Amino acid sequence: MAIEDKPLDDEYLQKGVNLLLNGHDTETIEFAFNREILQTRQRNNQSIKVLNSFTELAPAMGMAGTLIGLVAMLVAMDILKV
State yes or no: pLDDT of 25 exceeds 80: yes
State yes or no: pLDDT of 12 exceeds 90: no
- What would the DSSP string read from start to end of the chain? -HHHHS--S-HHHHHHHHHHHTT--HHHHHHHHHHHHHHHHHHHHHHHHHHHHHHHHHHHHHHHHHHHHHHHHHHHTTSS--
Residue-range domain boundaries for the chain:
2-76
State yes or no: pLDDT of 21 exceeds 80: yes
Judge if pTM exceeds 0.85: no
pLDDT at residue 3, as a whole number: 66
